[in-house]
Amino acid sequence: MSQQHPPSTPSTDRPTTVQSLARLIPYLRPALPRIIAGMVAAMIASLVALFIPFVLERLVDGPLSSHDARQVWPAFAIVLALGVVEAGMIMARRWLVLTPSTYVETSMRNSLYKKLQDLPVAFHDRWQSGQLLSRSVSDLSLIRRWLAFGIVLLVVNLITIVVGFVVLFFYSWLLGLIFLVASVPIWIVGLRFEKEYSTVARRSQDQVGDLATSVEESVHGIRVLKAFGRGKHSLKDFARRADELRGTEIKKSQAIAQLWLWLLLVPDVAFAFCLLAGVWLASQHQLTVGQLFAFFATATVLRFPVESIGFLLSMTFDTRTAVDRFFEVMDSENTITDPEHPKTIAEPHGRLTFRSTHFRYQDSPAQYADLVDGVDLELEPGETMALVGLTGSGKTTLLALVPRLYDVTGGEVLIDGVDVRDLTREELRRHVGMAFEDATLFSTTVRENVLLGRPDLSGDEADRVMREALEIAQADFVERLPEGVDTKVGEEGLSLSGGQRQRLALARAIAARPAVLVLDDPLSALDVDTEARVEAGLRRVLASTTSLIVAHRPSTVNLADRVALLENGRVTAVGRHSDLIATNEHYRYVISSLDDDDESTREEVYA
Ligand SMILES: Nc1ncnc2c1ncn2[C@@H]1O[C@H](COP(=O)(O)OP(=O)(O)OP(=O)(O)O)[C@@H](O)[C@H]1O
């Protein structure tokens, strides 16, 4: 669950559009030859189109004025040939640029996914999932479309316009000058457009991300919404966001429409003035009819490039925003990385030590003490220790420090005397298995879910490890599923009960055969008998595995060798359950506040 996304209003020191887009170059490199070849093809097509009026000029001033019908044929052949070349080049451009852009999109999408997998939990705490979704889907499609034709046409059309103006000057400098001066408003409007449009484009893309988050959250929480009859309220909230997006899209369209107005109006006005001046020049014999004809034919050829600039610019600014949003994720620094000189534990025994361990969440207010405020705790190899404390005391957080879901902000967490930060993440996760209360299963088979942490296994060995893990986790229900362990579960698969999911998640942790198992109340949905059987299985098969278990039930505490009491960010007592009950007031208070379904413990407390 995540909370925020970067500000949508660009700051004053933001890079220029060219600087932003230039960051695509490393991804573009393999596709660059074909994109450049596509540009060359498009350029040839444009130049050929600009050459046709030249032939027409010769035709008008030659055979047409001398009434020599025979000479029309060569001119016809040349114009036809030029037309065929132009069409061929346009086809070549499409063929050249279409495929490479899809490669670029795929490689960027893969990099983004890899980065998201690599970034620490702290990053995902802060980012809305919809924002990440829209970045990895719609933003990257936008970049692909821009690479496939946006950038090619933008460059080619701009060059065509420049060359076209030169040609216009070549026919008549006066008419060319009128055309150029009349175009000035377009450049002014274009510059203003860049500023306005970039801001709304950014806002719109962020709002798309917010909408995606809304959909994701309401689909995910559909049961809660229905149970509380909040469907209407959620729809209202969604409609408000959709309306905001609609408003932004209208602003975008208005900005584009304004630019279009000028892009359409200015050439027409310029045409009118040029027509007036052209006829006057022709009457003064300063211009031939052929030249006048060719001038207007060239100006007509230039209409499409000029008109397309508005669309291409807006597309470019949309793409720039998409690129910025892509790199906001890619630039996020991963603070949980592998050490430069990693240590290794050749034969792990599973001694788990917290030494003066401190931790506070990044956004924790300064006046608050550290959530984990100097924890000292040692678990012997093979020991099962329960961790108890009042709700919100930081039990889950303390556990998360072992597999480095978060890094300590002070002190150390050690496995067999080695700081967990001195191991590679890959090795650490081989030594540490974890299961959470909120069991997440992936949309795949039971088998793949259980063997998630064992990519090294295959065939009979994989099957044996999986079945053993399922047996310890008391997950024999899988045999009764329609296709046994090959039944698809998870989001799009068969719906399982909370307890069934927990048992599969536990089996997953067990199958990884870690030296240290950290379990965040993973048996909360099981009845006491099943929990006892799971614990017995764990002891039998994982005799050498050290377990640290967050306990929310007295029954879990009873099964542990020792119990650690977490109070105000510190471990204030460690000992056998019966001893602590007898000697520690706070412990008695915590135990009595637990979810008590165990009569004997209650009696113990009040004895
Ligand atoms: N990702 C996070 N970012 C900021 N604060 C957090 C985050 N996760 C937890 N907290 C805060 O840290 C405190 C301890 O949370 P934690 O989940 O570790 O407690 P807990 O002892 O496991 O609670 P419970 O027994 O209810 O599961 C809470 O006040 C919680 O609001």
Q: Which helix (H) or strand (E) segment is 298 a member of?
A: helix 289-330
Q: Which of 416-430, 486-500, 515-529 has the lowest mean pLDDT?
A: 486-500
Q: Which of 287-296, 499-508, 537-546 has the lowest mean pLDDT?
A: 537-546
CA–centroid distance, residue 397 to ligand 1 (Å)? 6
Identify the top-confidence range among 219-223, 323-327, 361-365.
323-327
CA–centroid distance, residue 473 to ligand 1 (Å)? 27
Query: pLDDT grade, residue 7 (50/70/90)?
Result: very low
Mean pLDDT, residues 254-267? 82
Tell me where in the chain the CATH 3.40.50.300 domain(s) lie: 352-440+516-606
Q: What pLDDT does residue 541 have?
A: 66
Convert the pLDDT of each residue in 172-216 to its tens digit: 888 888 888 887 777 778 777 777 887 888 888 888 888 888 887
CA–centroid distance, residue 389 to ligand 1 (Å)? 12
In residues, how long is the chain?
607
* Alpha-carbon span 303 to 328, nearest angstrom: 38
Task: Name which residue sits closest to atom 7 of ligand 1, judged by CA.
Answer: 361
Pocket of ligand 1 (CB under 6 A): 125, 361, 363, 371, 389, 391-397
Q: State the CB neighbour count (10 A cutoff) for residue 551.
A: 28
* Alpha-carbon span 414 to 201, nearest angstrom: 49
Fold classification of 17-330 is: ABC transporter transmembrane region fold (1.20.1560)
Task: Name which residue sits closest to atom 1 of ligand 1, judged by CA.
Answer: 125
Q: What pLDDT does residue 88 have?
A: 93
* Alpha-carbon span 190 to 263, nearest angstrom: 9
pLDDT above 70: percentage of residues in the chain? 93
Q: For helices 289-330 and 32-59, what crossing angle results, to 10°?
A: 170
Query: pLDDT grade, residue 341 (50/70/90)?
Result: very high
Residue with tokens 């150390």: 412
Fold classification of 352-440+516-606 is: Rossmann fold (3.40.50)
Q: Is the pLDDT of residue 413 over 90?
A: yes
Convert the pLDDT of each residue in 301-332 to its tens digit: 888 887 788 778 888 988 998 999 899 889 98
Looking at residue 353, its amino acid is T
Convert the pLDDT of each residue in 55-100 to its tens digit: 787 777 776 666 666 777 777 888 889 899 989 998 998 888 888 8
Q: Which of 25-34, 94-103, 181-190, 405-414 has the lowest mean pLDDT?
A: 181-190
CA neighbor of 392 nearest in space, from 361, 413, 362:
361
Decide if 316 contacts 151 (C-beta within 8 A). Answer: yes
Q: What pLDDT does residue 482 have?
A: 84
Q: What pLDDT does residue 57 have?
A: 79
Rg of the chain taking only CA atoms, in angstroms = 35
CA–centroid distance, residue 393 to ligand 1 (Å)? 7
The string of DSSP codes covering 461-474 is HHHHHHHHHHHHTT
Task: Name which residue sits closest to atom 25 of ligand 1, judged by CA.
Answer: 391
Q: What pLDDT does residue 12 have?
A: 53
Q: Is the pLDDT of residue 167 over 50?
A: yes
Query: pLDDT grade, residue 1 (50/70/90)?
Result: very low
Q: State the CB neighbour count (10 A cutoff) for residue 554.
A: 26
Residue whose CB lies within 8 A of the most ligand 1 atoms, among 2, 128, 361, 438, for a mutation test = 361
* Alpha-carbon span 269 to 42, nearest angstrom: 28
Q: Is the pLDDT of residue 380 over 60?
A: yes
Mean pLDDT, residues 382-405? 91
The string of DSSP codes covering 174-227 is HHHHHHHHHHHHHHHHHHHHHHHHHHHHHHHHHHHHHHHHHHHHHHHTHHHHHH
Q: What pLDDT does residue 204 have?
A: 87
CA–centroid distance, residue 380 to ligand 1 (Å)? 26
CA–centroid distance, residue 391 to ligand 1 (Å)? 8
Tell me where in the chain the CATH 1.20.1560.10 domain(s) lie: 17-330
Q: What pLDDT does residue 599 have?
A: 53
pLDDT above 90: percentage of residues in the chain? 20
Which ligand 1 atom sits closest to the C-alpha of 393? 21
Cα 331 from chain centroid (whole Å): 12
Torsion of CA 462, 463, 464, 466, to 10 degrees: 80
Average pLDDT over all residues of the chain? 84
Convert the pLDDT of each residue in 45-60 to its tens digit: 988 888 888 878 777 7
CA–centroid distance, residue 394 to ligand 1 (Å)? 6
Q: Is the pLDDT of residue 553 over 50?
A: yes
What the block records as the tokens of 416 is: 């067999």
Query: pLDDT grade, residue 400 (50/70/90)?
Result: very high
Cα 147 from chain centroid (whole Å): 20
Q: State the CB neighbour count (10 A cutoff) for residue 3.
A: 9
Task: Name which residue sits closest to atom 28 of ligand 1, judged by CA.
Answer: 392
CA neighbor of 403 nearest in space, from 379, 427, 370, 373:
427
What the block records as the tokens of 170 is: 């070549």
SS3 55: helix
Mean pLDDT, residues 448-458? 85
* Alpha-carbon span 407 to 230, nearest angstrom: 38
Q: Is the pLDDT of residue 403 over 80?
A: yes
Look at phi and psi of residue 484 and say left if phi exceeds 0, alpha if psi is from -120 to 50, else beta: left
Query: pLDDT grade, residue 10 (50/70/90)?
Result: very low
Looking at residue 510, its amino acid is I
